[in-house]
Amino acid sequence: MAFSLYQEFYKLSHRKLTWIAPLVLLILMILTGLSIGYNESKLLMTTCYNAPDWIMLILVIVGSTTFSMEFQNNAILTLLYKAPNKILVYLSKYLVILGYNLWLHLLAILFTLGLRAIPMNQSMSWSALYRYQQPLWENMLKTSAIDVLTTTFIISLIFLLSCLINSNAIVISVSLLMVFMGQFISANLLNADRFTTVLRWNPFNMTNLTRQYYNYTTYFDTSHLLNQQLLQGTLSYTLLFIIVGYLIFRKKRF
Amino acid sequence: MLVVQNVNTYIGRKQIITDATFKIHPGNIIGLIGPNGAGKTTLMKTILGLTKFDGQIRLNQTTVTENQHTALTKVGALIEHPAIYPFLTGQQNLTLYAHDPVDCQRLISKLDMSTYIHDHTKDYSLGMKQKLGIAIALLNNPQLVILDEPMNGLDVEATIGVRRLIHQYAAQGTAFLISSHILSELQKVMTQVILINHGRIIVNQPIAEFEQFHHQAYELHTENSQLTVKLLSSHHIQYTLDGDTFQVNPKSIFEIQDILSSQHVRLKELTPISSSFEQIVVHLLHQQRGGDQHND
């Protein structure tokens, strides 16, 4: 397992995309700060300048290419026969992307601390109370922690799709569509006001977890689930997608 | 070392390999030959636990299954195309799999890759990629190396270098299973031949034995051709006659000698008609196809 993890980490750390992505994240955070920062300083600090959406975008691209690069470079056969079993290949890829996800969130927090210090927006005190009667710093840390769960759910979905589809471009397109359109698909399903008790558990609805946490009143009407229920749904779907993704990977013919 | 026993491989519901049984011992260099689509690559993938199969594959007494590759830690392979990441340099591609940096450097110099090993592999030619793929297969002192068309894209010097390297590793006990369509090249290295057609192994023999047993015909000269014709006909032995030269089946040569000797007809010449390795293989494949058609 240790050697498989080392190999995955080695590949990830030698890809240009891995290092360009944080720069893109910073630029997008600055742009967000410049566009809505004047009115929404507290919201920006809570959400790390809308980092959840930007990190999701980055993870879709990096995560989608994790498997497709193996298929396209004919490396999957070597990877598979050199590993003691298939689950190690799958898990080590998953864990390394999970580590990258955590690293991106950590960077987003550090960037937020830096951006708050520069005179771009009206600077709010970290101890100022905001959502759930908690200080901003607590809101930010909790939002980031919850977003790690949302993005982990997205990674599981991307891995499942990557095992179904070999083409890099198609996996990225489908993943982006599901991640960013999923919320609208779910909202439309639930707007019909039929079978809401069942349909609110659809997987697309789980993409609302982070947004609902920092903006409960708006998003509860969309998701029809409590924060706690969304969290349970997200964790359950994450586990389900990991298992189904692995089963597809295991049966896949290379 | 490697035991393949009654292995049947399936892709989907289609059976690709039927009842494959053979052994590979340390230091053996097995040439796996057969026409396109015969099942060579599938057989190699099966040994590497990459396909669905039944039967038994054991490497050093440890069983290999589709999802249990622990036995393959000392196996290197180059299957279909070299497994190379274009965003890494040649050196980094090797480092990714290498357990010993010294072994890695030794391979780089032996395969004469030092001048470009630090360049990104996206700029490599086909031959350079192929050499890197072979180097990856030879990393970590493997006990068994599986090479699928290793000479693809290699120039003359590289081909000689790879051949030499195979001999060196084999001398130290590494076994090789090599498939190639360039039979002349394979002939220079292999010690044993496995001929496969339609997923069935039709020949599995040491190369010397193979060449000896599969000569297609013998030329026969006797001091009395007319009597020889009579004797062969009366004993229902098949022959063709061209002037005074008989051409006979290798299976009949001992019987012919006995008959002629009993009638005091002396032999002037009995020699195998030399066939190239290529001709023998083609002949065997034709023979099998004929058999298949006959069976159908």
Range of the domain at B70: 2-208
Q: What is the ipTM of this complex?
A: 0.83
B85 and A11 within 8 Å at the Cβ level: the answer is: yes
Mean pLDDT, rounded, for A24-39: 86
Q: Give the Cα separation of B146 and B139 in Å (integer).
A: 12
Are B169 and B252 members of one domain?
no
* Average pLDDT for chain B: 89
- A38 has a pLDDT exceeding 70: no
Q: Which of B50, B86, B95 sits opposite A80 (nearest CB)?
A: B50
Are B145 and B245 members of one domain?
no
Segment B28-82, tens digit of pLDDT: 999 999 888 889 999 999 999 999 999 999 999 999 998 888 899 899 999 988 9
Any chain B CB within 8 A of the CB of A79? yes
- To the nearest 10°, the Cα dihedral for B121, B127, B131, B136? 50
Segment B228-263, tens digit of pLDDT: 999 999 999 988 888 889 988 888 889 999 999 999
Give the closest residue to B195 by CA, choosing from B185, A113, B206: B206
In a domain, B289, yes or no: no
Closest-CA distance, B82 to chain A, in angstroms, reads: 7
Mean pLDDT, rounded, for B172-179: 95
In a domain, B294, yes or no: no
Do the bridges between strand B175-179 and strand B144-148 make them parallel or antiparallel, or are there none, so unpaired?
A: parallel
Are B179 and B266 members of one domain?
no
pTM: 0.82
> Which of the two residues, B137 and B280, has the higher pLDDT score?
B137
Are B8 and B113 members of one domain?
yes
Residue of B nearest to A75 (CA): B83
Quote the pLDDT of residue A71.
85
Are the C-beta atoms of residues A66 and A161 closer than 8 Å to each other? no
Quote the pLDDT of residue A121.
67
- Cβ contacts (< 8 Å) between B85 and chain A: which residues? 11, 14, 69, 73, 75
Any chain B CB within 8 A of the CB of A85? yes
Q: Is the dihedral of CA B28, B29, B34, B38 positive or negative?
A: positive
Give the closest residue to B78 by CA, choosing from B167, B164, B139: B139
Are the C-beta atoms of residues A177 and A146 closer than 8 Å to each other? no
Quote the pLDDT of residue B1.
87
Dig out the tokens for B223 from the structure.
């001091």
Q: Give the Cα separation of A17 and A19 in Å (integer).
A: 5
B85 and A75 within 8 Å at the Cβ level: the answer is: yes
Q: Give the Cα separation of B118 and B124 in Å (integer).
A: 11
Q: Give the Cα separation of B5 and B2 in Å (integer).
A: 10
- A251 has a pLDDT exceeding 90: no
pLDDT band at B108 (very low <50, low <70, confident <90, very high): very high
> Which of the two residues, A58 and B291, has the higher pLDDT score?
A58
Are the C-beta atoms of residues B252 and B237 closer than 8 Å to each other? yes
pLDDT band at B181 (very low <50, low <70, confident <90, very high): confident
Any chain B CB within 8 A of the CB of A250? yes
Number of separate domains in chain B: 2
Q: What is the CATH number for B236?
A: 3.30.70
Segment A206-235, tens digit of pLDDT: 888 888 888 888 877 888 888 999 999 999
* Cβ atoms within 10 Å, residue A1: 12
- A154 has a pLDDT exceeding 60: yes
B83 and A78 within 8 Å at the Cβ level: the answer is: yes
Mean pLDDT, rounded, for B94-107: 92
Are B147 and B257 members of one domain?
no
C-alpha distance from residue A236 to each of A184, A232, B32 (Å): 21, 6, 49
